[in-house]
């Protein structure tokens, strides 16, 4: 069934199809439509779930964790300041191995107050232990929402799926809504290995001494490692049913390329267009889309970027005092590539707070990357006018 819908409702439909049992959320622009639609679905009975209203995002995540520990499938959505307010609970969800799925609509952090897109909200939560999946289209949002539950519940880690404010959240696209029966074949009821049982009560998240704490963290890291493979299998299963797959990393027209753009989110679509035009003009330029940020697809990126002359990473985010966050992570990954195969990496910072990244901007970046011998600095800010 194809429906035209905004990205936010693609999330809602994914949640509906995933037969989520508990939803707890607090409204925030530009996320609110996700949970509005879900509350309607719960109210009219089409989604037989418990919708818990709360007074803050911190409480929303706490409620999801509480529900998850009883073995239920849980979901929440937030954005920007709301995600920041959840910070403590994000650690709790991941450390407690609760497979909560959350949609975060990427919105710039205040101040200055801003409701438009960039990735600093979610990238600030890099080290909380959540799997992060960045989406490019509404179809991908729908598909990834359903995949996220299977991934999360297989490795017992929480998953954050990300979509750009307005460019996806409020933009309508046709979405092929997979039939419930097909989704049911893909995603069965959650079976939790550890769950709260009032007849045999145990403490969850209780004191862990130094002699055990490291071992628990190690197992969390093993689960993150495992998540790379599990995601591949999840995509296999989904592709078998729907014919669609995206990959943790996607290589677009990378054959023979001597220059590769690296993007995430909706900038990718614009970059595809520029790559097509350049290719038509004989320019050997390609594109790498990074969907999975945690666990970081180190091996894939080394394989794809190693041996290429030049790489331009487009970061819609900034780690102040360092640089674009994807660029820094990729630089780190390429350290183990033999020096002769190591590309020259240009890290561009652009599109902050929702500023448009147009084909012309990307074209200029390609031009800059081709013509400069080396980048003047690790963070190359695009379009700054003072």
Q: Which is nearer to other proteins, 191 or 256 (CB)?
A: 191
Smallest distance from the beta carbon of 338 to other proteins, in angstroms? 23
Q: Which is nearer to other proteins, 130 or 238 (CB)?
A: 130
Q: Which is nearer to other proteins, 127 or 215 (CB)?
A: 215
* CA–CA gap between residue 25 and residue 100 (Å, rounded): 12
* Residue where the block lists tokens 């092929």: 176
CA angle at 16 for the pair 59 and 46, rounded to the nearest 5°: 105
Structure tokens at 152: 């999360």
For 4, other C-beta atoms within 10 Å of its C-beta total 10
Residues that bind other proteins (CB under 8 A): 95-97, 156, 194, 198, 200-208, 212, 215-216, 218-220, 223
Please tell me whether residue 381 adopts helix, strand or coil conformation. Answer: strand
Smallest distance from the beta carbon of 195 to other proteins, in angstroms? 10
Q: Which is nearer to other proteins, 179 or 197 (CB)?
A: 197
Q: Which is nearer to other proteins, 68 or 78 (CB)?
A: 68
Burial of 202 (0-12, 13-18, 19+ CB in 10 A): exposed
Sign (positive/negative) of CA torsion 234, 237, 242, 245?
positive
Residues paired with 252 in a beta bridge:
287
Smallest distance from the beta carbon of 67 to other proteins, in angstroms? 14
Smallest distance from the beta carbon of 104 to other proteins, in angstroms? 24
Q: Which is nearer to other proteins, 9 or 97 (CB)?
A: 97
Smallest distance from the beta carbon of 216 to other proteins, in angstroms? 6
Q: Which is nearer to other proteins, 295 or 351 (CB)?
A: 295
* CA–CA gap between residue 215 and residue 221 (Å, rounded): 10
* 75, 17 Cβ separation under 8 angstroms: no
Q: Which is nearer to other proteins, 212 or 303 (CB)?
A: 212
Smallest distance from the beta carbon of 194 to other proteins, in angstroms? 5
Rg over CA atoms, the chain: 21
Q: Give the strand pairing for 344-349 and 101-106.
A: unpaired
Q: How far is CA 197 from the centre of its chain?
A: 33
- Contacts of residues 319-323 at CB distance under 8 Å and 24 or more positions apart, as own/partner, are 319/123, 322/378, 322/379, 323/347, 323/349, 323/378, 323/379
Smallest distance from the beta carbon of 315 to other proteins, in angstroms? 32
Closest C-alpha to 124, from 77, 90, 164, 163: 90
Q: How far is CA 212 from the centre of its chain?
A: 31
Please tell me whether residue 73 adopts helix, strand or coil conformation. Answer: coil
CA angle at 175 for the pair 293 and 232, rounded to the nearest 5°: 35
Q: Which is nearer to other proteins, 206 or 386 (CB)?
A: 206
Q: How far is CA 42 from the centre of its chain?
A: 26
Smallest distance from the beta carbon of 218 to other proteins, in angstroms? 7
Q: Which is nearer to other proteins, 1 or 206 (CB)?
A: 206
Smallest distance from the beta carbon of 68 to other proteins, in angstroms? 11
Smallest distance from the beta carbon of 55 to other proteins, in angstroms? 11
Residues paired with 132 in a beta bridge:
160, 294
């Amino acid at each position: 069934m194809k429906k035209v819908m905004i990205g936010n409702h693609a999330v809602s439909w994914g949640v509906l199809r995933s037969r989520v049992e508990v939803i707890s959320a607090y409204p925030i622009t530009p996320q609110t439509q996700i949970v509005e639609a879900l509350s309607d679905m719960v109210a009219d009975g089409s989604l037989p779930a418990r919708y818990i209203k709360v007074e803050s995002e911190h409480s929303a995540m706490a409620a999801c964790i509480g529900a998850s520990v009883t073995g239920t499938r849980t979901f929440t959505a937030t954005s920007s300041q709301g995600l920041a307010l959840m910070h403590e609970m994000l650690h709790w969800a991941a450390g407690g191995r609760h497979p909560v799925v959350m949609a975060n609509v990427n919105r710039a952090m205040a101040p200055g107050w801003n409701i438009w897109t960039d990735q600093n909200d979610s990238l600030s939560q890099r080290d909380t232990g959540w799997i992060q999946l960045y989406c490019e289209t509404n179809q991908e949002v729908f598909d990834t929402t359903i995949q996220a539950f299977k991934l999360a519940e297989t490795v017992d880690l929480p998953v954050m799926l990300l979509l750009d404010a307005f460019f996806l959240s409020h933009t309508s696209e046709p979405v092929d809504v997979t039939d419930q029966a097909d989704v049911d074949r893909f995603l069965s009821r959650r079976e939790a290995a550890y769950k709260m049982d009032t007849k045999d009560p145990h403490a969850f998240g209780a004191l862990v001494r130094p002699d055990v704490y490291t071992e628990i963290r190690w197992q969390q890291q093993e689960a993150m490692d495992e998540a790379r493979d599990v995601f591949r299998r999840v995509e296999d299963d989904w592709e078998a049913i729907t014919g669609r797959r995206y990959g943790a990393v996607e290589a677009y027209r990378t054959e023979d390329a001597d220059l590769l753009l690296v993007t995430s989110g909706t900038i990718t679509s614009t970059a595809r267009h520029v790559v097509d035009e350049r290719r038509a003009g004989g320019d050997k330029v390609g594109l790498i889309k990074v969907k999975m940020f945690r666990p970081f697809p180190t091996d894939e990126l080394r394989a794809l970027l190693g041996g290429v002359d030049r790489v331009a990473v487009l970061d819609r985010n900034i780690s102040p005092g360092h640089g674009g966050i994807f660029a820094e992570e990729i630089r780190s990954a390429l350290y183990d590539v033999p020096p002769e195969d190591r590309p020259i990496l240009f890290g561009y910072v652009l599109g902050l707070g929702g500023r448009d990244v147009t084909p012309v901007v990307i074209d200029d970046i390609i031009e800059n990357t081709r013509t400069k011998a080396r980048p003047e600095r690790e963070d190359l800010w695009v379009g700054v006018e003072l």
